[in-house]
Structure 1
Amino acid sequence: MKKMLGEERRLQLLAQLRNSHTPITGTDLAKFANVSRQVIVNDMTLLKARNEPIMATSQGYLYMHQEQLQQTVERTIPCLHSAEDTEDELVTIVDCGGTVKNVIVEHPIYGEITASLMVSNRHEVKAFVQRVNETQASYLSELTGGVHLHVISAPSASILDLIERSLLEKGYLITDKT
């Protein structure tokens, strides 16, 4: 297979992403374009700099189609729990109908650190937790004693309210009384 070059490659990658409604891994895109994964990382950075709505998620790259962006509401929710409760927290959110877009922590040296998650169902949560365990990585919230924010999207504000109530019941939601 011939190696794709520069702008032609980025246009082909963009077409691949636009035609998929599920994330595509950097490895799969690299195989498609016959380049290294690092070249794909650079290409995605260039495409995002052109305001293409590409999101790097824990499952791969995802093109955010306009209808996906318009049909949801978002809320930033403050949480506190141990690393052991991460999977339960994420499952609670997705079972209520939410998508966990990211996790944000406030680091004393680096300031705000944000990592994209984009988990919408139990399968994606399980895959995310499995990758963390396999790589022996730490959750970002471990840098802040378990304190973190999630940007959560859902089809309606009432679903976001349900998510907050569910997290509160489990003791994961930070409130004024916490």
Structure 2
Amino acid sequence: MSDSSNIKQVAPPEGYAGEGFFATKLSEVVGLARANSMWPLPFATSCCGIEYMATMAATYDIGRFGSERMSFSPRQADMLLVMGTIAKKMAPILRQVYEQMAEPKWVIAVGACASTGGVFDTYSVLQGIDKVIPVDVYVPGCPPRPEQILDGILELQNIVKNESVRRRSSDEYKDLLNSYNIK
């Protein structure tokens, strides 16, 4: 056995005593937490909503990605999934739902109808929800398969994880929101 009195103890740097520390940027920790605990608000009007139901079920299990808690109140959600055809008369309601969400908030346009109006190129159908609210991720398809919806959620998680904590409060972003006025 060796004599323990010969071992020299090295003290941690000043201010770092205790259990230890982990060095990283605050924005990275916040981004990781936000990305893995998103609360979705489904705004489904047609067949894409049915595919989203399959995405929530056991086979695809959206809960694996931190989105298990569905929110049916915009005030408690941070991810809005718009699925299906949006009539022009529904546009102000969609905008109001978006505005009721607390910051930070993100939007996924699921399917061809939400993204571009789909096959409904008529006077009564909104030709893409990006005419009234900003969209972060577009999921193509008519309707998109559950795997595509999950891929869109993973893409949004990547965006959230890497964006700045202050991005949503910038003047640039507020100007973008103001440019989406419905007349």
What is the TM-score normalised by the length of structure 2?
0.21
Task: Identify the structure with the greater strand proportion.
Answer: 1
Q: Which of structures 1 and 2 has the bigger CA Rg?
A: 2
What is the TM-score normalised by the length of structure 1?
0.22
